[in-house]
Structure 1
Amino acid sequence: MQNILKRILVVAVVVIAIVLAFKYCEFKKEDDSTIDYNTNLIQQQILNVGKLVVTEGHFSEVLTYKNQQKYLMDMVSFEKKALIVVNANVTVAYDLHKMKYDIDEKNKTITILNIPKEEITINPDIQFYDVEQSKLNPFTGDDYNKINKSVKANLAKKIDKSSLKTNAQNRLISELSKILILTNTMGWKLQYNGKEIESETDLNQDLKL
């Protein structure tokens, strides 16, 4: 009788152990599924953010170009000059396809490793007016190259003094804040430059380029 009870007890313990093991595996499976789901959702959001952010601006300027060619020990000179009107379309872009990041599933942390620098494109439309030249000092390709270089240099200075770059950075931060909102919602953390990003204020301070 005692042997039978012992056998029944052993069988009961084995059955309980099997049930507990099954429940543990089932729980583990659900937990892993949740991690996979969260990771896939975050990766999809980053893909949605990973696009070309473009801010456009328009600039105009007027300048005068002059050049002299002197002969006979500078006793004779031939001047050429022109009034130049420039209208330029400028774009400041961030290609977020190039953004590098790391997803740490165990610690539920997204780390932004690298944010691409802005790409500035200047497309000037240059018009010449009141052109004066002579056969001994005509306009040449070299003059146009100098003018084009000077125009782009002047426009670059105007862009730096304008709000175009700031507006572009604000749009960049707006896109990156979508990742912050998702991580906050899901209980994950967002990091950049060794710091945890907890709010949009942190984005403005730490992600300003």
Structure 2
Amino acid sequence: MSLFNRLSEIRKWVVLILIGLVLFFGYKYFTSTTETSSIEYDTNLIQTQIKNVGKLVVTEGHFAEVLTYKDRKETYIPGLTFDKKALVVINADVTVGFDLSKVTYDIDAKNKILTITNVPKEEIKISPDIKYYNTESSTFNEFTGEDYNKINKIARENLAKKIDKSTLKTNAKNRLLSELAKMLVLTNSMGWTLQYKGDVIESESDLKL
């Protein structure tokens, strides 16, 4: 074989090796980029969906309360008192909810794990409408702002007890679990794992607040 043919043969092998290297590194580059893009896409999508469900989940209720308010002012004269009283009717709208914008979470993109780190406590808002009937008082014991404040406080305390005995908090909690379950559906569909309180959440029944 002549020197010219040998050089041509070597040139062919060099070209083949270069083409092989280009294909190899090109494959590695595009494969690596796709994986990174996929993780970033998943992370951004999860964050967007969490923000979308980050609304106030509210359960509403209506309560009525009737109470008789009495106050007596004693005097130094036995048997002589100055009384005041009123029939008070309270109608209150009550809302119980969770502000999901306050849910905190951690995203482990490398291992595809979404961890809920904190769920806020329920928020209870009482909006009472108080009406007074059969109000009676004396010149020496008239109704004052302090009386109205006492009645308002008593009314709210009584309503709070009724709320505790009602299903409002339970209903609000169920709606919260329903919203959090949307995160479970999302993460499962993307091959991610949802965790809360150190446990892996595989179904809605695993979500215990």
- TM-score under structure 1 length normalisation: 0.93
Residues paired across the two proteins, number? 205
Matches within 5 A, 1:101-116: 101-116=105-120
Aligned with residue 149 of structure 1, among 127, 138, 153:
153
Matched, 1:28 2:32: yes
Matched, 1:175 2:179: yes
Q: How many Å apart are 1:158 and its aligned residue?
A: 0.4
CA distance in 2, matches of 1:6, 1:56: 84
Which residue in 2 is equivalent to 1:77?
A: 81
CA distance in 1, matches of 2:78, 2:174: 56
CA distance in 1, matches of 2:78, 2:111: 78
Higher Rg of the two aligned structures: 2
Amino acid at match of 2:105: Y
Amino acid at match of 2:205: T
The share of aligned pairs that are identical, in percent, is 57
CA deviations 1:48-84 (Å, max 9, x no partner) are 1111111111000111111100111543111111111
CA distance in 2, matches of 1:39, 1:98: 19
Aligned with residue 93 of structure 2, among 89, 95, 108:
89
CA distance in 1, matches of 2:56, 2:6: 77
Residue segments in structure 2 that go unaligned for 5+ positions in a row: none
Matched, 1:57 2:61: yes
Q: How many Å apart are 1:131 and its aligned residue?
A: 1.1
CA distance in 2, matches of 1:129, 1:177: 48
SS at match of 2:68: strand
CA deviations 1:92-148 (Å, max 9, x no partner) are 121111111111110101111111111111111111111111101111111111110
Which residue in 2 is equivalent to 1:187?
A: 191
Q: How many Å apart are 1:6 and its aligned residue?
A: 4.1
- TM-score under structure 2 length normalisation: 0.93
State the 4+ residue runs in structure 1 displaced beyond 4 angstroms: none
Amino acid at match of 2:62: H
Counterparts in 2 of 1:76 and 1:17: CA distance versus 1, 3 Å: same
SS at match of 2:62: strand
Matched, 1:117 2:91: no
Counterparts in 2 of 1:7 and 1:74: CA distance versus 1, 3 Å: farther
